[in-house]
Amino acid sequence: MTQPGAHFQLTRSINVPRDRLWSLLTDPKAREVWGGPSDDAVLVLDKADLRDGGQERHRCGPADNPEFVVHTHWYHLAAPDLACFTETISAGGIRFAVTLVRYTLSASNGGTTLTVDVGLAPLTDGDMLSDFQQGWTSGLDRLERLIADGAFG
């Protein structure tokens, strides 16, 4: 039996202006650097089309086998405040889940408060909520580390 749908929210205070954080969240090259689901995984963007209605495809997983394919559909982009998109995640021809993701960015104390809302619709058996939460948490941790280390200039 398929697991029920779930929702989680992550909020971060990041010490960069909204415009800069928006760019890091949406720029394909930046997402390849911070967006993998763990420090040991890669994210490879095969197709990027950042616009309302745009479609993207990326692969993620271990560097030697990024087997998870993610199809993204961008529904709403209101820079630098709000983005809404869906992701369909599959591997080996099997769809595992669909997510609805919303980024909300608001100015706060010279930096930005980022809220990421993720609605998860599992399509197979197994508890995926913790995997998705861990993947998003790891990616945002890496984004914050890279910003603090000056990796993005």
How confident is the model over 34-92, as pLDDT tens digits? 998 888 999 999 999 999 999 999 999 999 999 999 999 999 999 999 999 999 999 99
The mean predicted confidence, pLDDT, of the chain is 94
72 found inside a domain: yes
153 found inside a domain: no
- Number of residues that make up the chain: 153
Burial 41-72 (b: 16+ CB within 10 A, else e): bbbebeebebeeeeebebbbbeeeebebbbbb
Residue 79: which domain range? 6-148
Is the pTM above the cut of 0.85? yes
47 found inside a domain: yes
Q: What is the CATH number of the domain that holds 140?
A: 3.30.530.20
Query: Domain count of the chain?
Result: 1
1 found inside a domain: no
